Amino acid sequence: MNLAEQAAANKAAYEAEYQRLRAAGVKFLQSHTADMAGGFRSKISPLKFSASGDALNGILYCVSHGDGQPIGDTAFAAPLASDSNGYPNIQALADPASIRHHGWRPDMASVISTGYMLDGTPCVVDPRYVLEQADARLRGLGYTAKVAVEYEFGIFHVDEPLMQQGRYRELKPWGHSLMNYNLVRDGDYQDLVTEFMSRMEMLGIGVASFVTEYGYGMYEFALTPKTAVEAADDAVRAKVHLQELCAEHGLVATFMTRFQPPGRESACGAHHHVSLWQDDTPVMAAGTNALSPVGEQFLAGLLNRLRETHVFFRPTINSYRRFDRYAWSPTDVSWGYENRTAAVRAITTPTPSACRFEHRVAGADVNPYLTIAALLAAGAEGIENGATPPPAQAGVAADGAVPALQNNLAASVDDFAASEFCARAFGEAFRDHYAESRRNEVTAFETWQSQRITDFEWQRYFV
């Protein structure tokens, strides 16, 4: 639908939601738009829903990670917003299905919007729109995907002077031990966890579990499965509200992939669990360590396009600090039943409804709208082509047995930018836009690095 058609379809829901929220005492609205990095760009306004959409600065789809830290590159040039077109506004239309009342703050609600161009056509670089299209493709084949994301992350004590100076490595981890699955790491741990779960329940977000992970300051939560767009919305909302809750407790949460040097403690993954359904019936199960034909085809698609979509799963310089198959962070295009060293772990027990694929490549720094879009688009192609997966790997695949994944961001970007599949699946305009956003990350790091003499150089060459 174009903007006018979608707005007309939403009008009755806007009025009903407005009346419901006003009656509940809501006065303010957080309006969220997903950016390229997988976060929300948000504003707070008095409670209102515009049937014609709201103005949105298109540059929000072109901002860099950290908005310029540490070298000042606040945005990358793109056809949507640049010096040549004067950085125009586009339109944002609120999705009424995403409206939530924040029960822990009764005067606040929130909504997630999708972008439209001034001529009313969808903004094709909006990550939420990209996922909606991939979801529609799979549904067109008669299947619905259910997806659940689990995040590993770090929590540290806030120290404003250190943070303002960018000295994050000096922050004190929250908790006195590095044990995983530990209830007494910190005296406030259970209070924070239960408050987080309660807040998520108010938003309709299910938290299956919250645990301590191996490492000082390391934690993990797992969300319950939803349909594709809902799952991505839940994932980003959960991150935002965990960070919000931590700030209230004098803490700060980070979703950077690795904050400890490689080889020490854990890194932060974001495993994606995906299953296929027809109506309320799971369709991938065929018994213990066995998949149905459609399950095999979907799996084959995931593997066939993993190299081309790899940059979605490892989108930053820091992502590749986690590149270590012996630490259960896959480095190749492999799969296996209950194999945590493989890119895709097939889980077939204990019941057919539990049958799913755990995609283990993603780190906590991903954009879940894009990673889920990649899963659905690649899997749909596998179904369309009746593809056959390669043999399962029982453990770590032998060198050369399966294709390797790129071990750096620049090479992953090149694979993505040259992919005809990615142009077809996500649109050529989006492919080129996202590739430019990732090249901006490479350039930013190289620029920063070129301006500094490293500790290696001082220690190796000074004397």
Domains of the chain are 3-121 (3.10.20.70), 136-450 (3.30.590.10)
DSSP 3-state of 128:
helix
Rounded Cα gap, residues 373 and 436, in angstroms:
19
Q: Structure tokens of 245?
A: 């809750």
**Quick one: pLDDT at residue 346?**
97
Q: Structure tokens of 278?
A: 């027809």
DSSP 34-93: E-TTS-EEEEEEES---TT-EEEEGGGGSEEEEEETTTTEEE--BTTBSTTTT--EEEEE
**Quick one: pLDDT at residue 262?**
86
List, in order, residues 6 or more apart from 372 with CB less than 8 Å away.
131, 134, 145, 147, 228, 231, 232, 272, 274
**Quick one: pLDDT at residue 34?**
97
What Rg do the C-alpha atoms of the chain give, in angstroms? 22
Give the β-pairing of 207-212 and 63-68.
unpaired
What is each CA distance from 51 to 40, 48, 165, 246, 385, in whole angstroms? Answer: 22, 10, 44, 35, 41
- Contact, 293 vs 284, CB < 8 A? no
**Quick one: pLDDT at residue 265?**
87
Q: Structure tokens of 51?
A: 């049937």
pLDDT tens-digit profile, the chain (463 residues) = 899 999 999 999 999 999 999 999 999 999 999 999 999 999 999 999 998 899 999 999 999 988 889 999 999 999 999 899 999 999 999 999 999 999 999 999 999 999 999 999 999 999 999 999 999 999 999 999 999 999 999 999 999 999 999 999 999 999 998 999 999 988 899 999 999 999 999 999 999 999 999 999 999 999 999 999 999 999 999 999 999 999 999 999 999 999 998 888 889 999 999 999 999 999 999 999 999 999 999 999 999 999 999 999 999 999 999 999 888 899 999 999 999 999 999 999 999 899 999 999 999 999 999 999 999 999 999 999 999 999 999 988 888 889 999 999 999 999 999 999 999 999 999 999 999 999 999 999 999 999 999 999 999 999 8
Q: What residue type is 293 in one-letter code?
A: P
Rounded Cα gap, residues 366 and 239, in angstroms:
12
Rounded Cα gap, residues 228 and 127, in angstroms:
13
What is each CA distance from 50 to 21, 121, 367, in whole angstroms? Answer: 15, 17, 27
**Quick one: pLDDT at residue 435?**
98
Per-residue DSSP letter, 107: T
Q: How many CB atoms lie within 10 A of CB 99?
A: 21
What is each CA distance from 225 to 126, 135, 379, 457, in whole angstroms? Answer: 23, 15, 18, 48
Rounded Cα gap, residues 181 and 171, in angstroms:
23
DSSP 3-state of 400:
coil
Burial of 316 (0-12, 13-18, 19+ CB in 10 A): buried
Rounded Cα gap, residues 238 and 234, in angstroms:
6
Give the β-pairing of 251-254 and 226-227.
unpaired
What is each CA distance from 53 to 2, 8, 10, 247, 428, in whole angstroms? Answer: 12, 11, 11, 32, 26
